[in-house]
Amino acid sequence: MGISNDRRDFIKKAVIGTGVITIVPRHVLGGPGYTAPSDRINFGYIGTGKQSSTLLNSFIGLPEVYVRAASDVDSKKLNRFNEWVNAYYAEHSPGKKFKGIELYGDYREMLERKNIDAVVVAAPDHWHARQSIDAMRSGKDVYCEKPMAHTIKEGRMMVATARKFERVFQTGSMQRSWDDFRKACELVYNGYLGEISKVIVNVGGPAMSCDLPEQSEPEYLDWDAWIGPAVWRPYNEVLSPPIEQDHWPRWRDYMEYGGGILADWGAHMFDIAQWALGMDGSGPVKIVPPDDRDAIRGLKFYYDNGIEMVHEDFGRGWAVRFIGSEGSLDVSRSFLDSSPENIVTHTIGGSDKRLYYSDNHYADFTNSIKERTKPVCDVETGHRSATVCSLGNIGYQLGRELEWDPVLEQFKNDGVANRLRSK
Give the global pTM.
Answer: 0.91
What pLDDT, on a 0 to 100 scale, did the predictor assign at position 38? Answer: 67
CATH 3.30.360.10 domain range(s) in the chain: 175-207+260-419
* DSSP secondary structure letter of residue 337: E
What pLDDT, on a 0 to 100 scale, did the predictor assign at position 412? Answer: 98
Cβ atoms 46, 78 nearer than 8 A: no
CATH 3.40.50.720 domain range(s) in the chain: 5-174
In this predicted model, which residue has the larger pLDDT, 16 or 211?
Answer: 211
Cβ atoms 260, 252 nearer than 8 A: yes
Classify domain 5-174 at the CATH topology level: Rossmann fold (3.40.50)
pLDDT digits (tens, 9 = 90+) for 363-392: 999 999 999 999 999 999 999 999 999 999
Residue 34, pLDDT > 60, answer no
Q: Which CATH number is 175-207+260-419 given?
A: 3.30.360.10
Which stretch of 64-73, 150-159, 211-220, 341-350 has the lowest confidence by average pLDDT? 341-350
* DSSP secondary structure letter of residue 138: T
What pLDDT, on a 0 to 100 scale, did the predictor assign at position 3? Answer: 42
What pLDDT, on a 0 to 100 scale, did the predictor assign at position 349? Answer: 83
pLDDT digits (tens, 9 = 90+) for 175-191: 999 999 999 999 999 99
Asked if the bond preceding 340 is cis, omega within 30° of 0, the reply is yes
pLDDT digits (tens, 9 = 90+) for 191-247: 999 999 999 999 999 999 999 999 999 999 999 999 999 999 999 999 999 999 989
For residue 310, give the nearest of 284, 331, 346, 328 by alpha carbon. 284
